[in-house]
Amino acid sequence: MPAFTEMGVLFEKETGIKTTFNFGSTGQLAQQIEKGAPVDLFAAANQSFIDELEKKGLIISETRALYAQGRIVIWTRMESTLKPATLEDLTNPEIGKIAIANPDHAPYGAAAREALQSAGIWEKVSPKLIFGENIRQTMQYAESGNVAAAIVALSLCRQGEGRWVVVPAELHKPLNQALAVIKNSRHESEARRFAQFINSETGRGIMRNYGFTLPSSGSIPVNRTAESK
């Protein structure tokens, strides 16, 4: 994702250590780790996946840490005449297909489903839903015009062209995001350094720029319509 890509570039400049990223849905990545994939550091979009890996003895427990709290938004293209301001607006017959990440293995998709259920409109909008394998693919559906709207991560909207409204946080469980170094990592020392960099002043500044709320931070993104510049 953009925030991690940017941190990877700066980390390499500062340390000379090159990072290689494998982006995907948190659930699928966790399954790969369980099957022995050569991963050094896992940054999950929901800390529950770190909890499960810890129970299975697959992470170095002392390295686990929260690094951000994510938010979801309703996103539409700039040229769209549709301007949903609330989740309830998604029931409008004029709004066709809506994309969300697969809620079975993508935390942002699970948050979208929970928010729609909390708003009492899940049954009404479910026939319209298109599932992306991960949050990035979901955003691509919306950007390409294949769907009328999408519920995606605020962090992606910071780098795209579009119009968005932040979904009220009380409609879904917090997207507390955590990381940990994987046990038996072949690059444990480097992974520990990058984990520390993510929660350093520099790393936290980057995460903040992409719309994340930070651990021990009271800065919550405002629920308002925003347009990318």
pTM for the structure as a whole: 0.80
Delineate the domains of the chain, giving CATH numbers in brackets: 2-69+173-216 (3.40.190.10), 72-171 (3.40.190.10)
- Reply yes or no on whether the pLDDT at 157 is more than 70: yes
The secondary structure of residue 40, as a DSSP letter, is S
Of the CA atoms within 13 Å of residue 99, those in its CB half-sphere come to: 25
* Strand intervals (E) in the chain: 41-44, 65-70, 72-76, 98-101, 129-132, 149-153, 163-166, 175-181, 225-227
Binned at pLDDT 50, 70 and 90, residue 216 comes out as: low
Distance CA 224, CA 161 (A): 16
- 114-126, pLDDT tens digit by residue? 999 999 999 999 9
Strand duo 98-101 + 149-153: pairing: parallel
Q: How far apart are CA 91 and CA 34, in angstroms?
A: 39
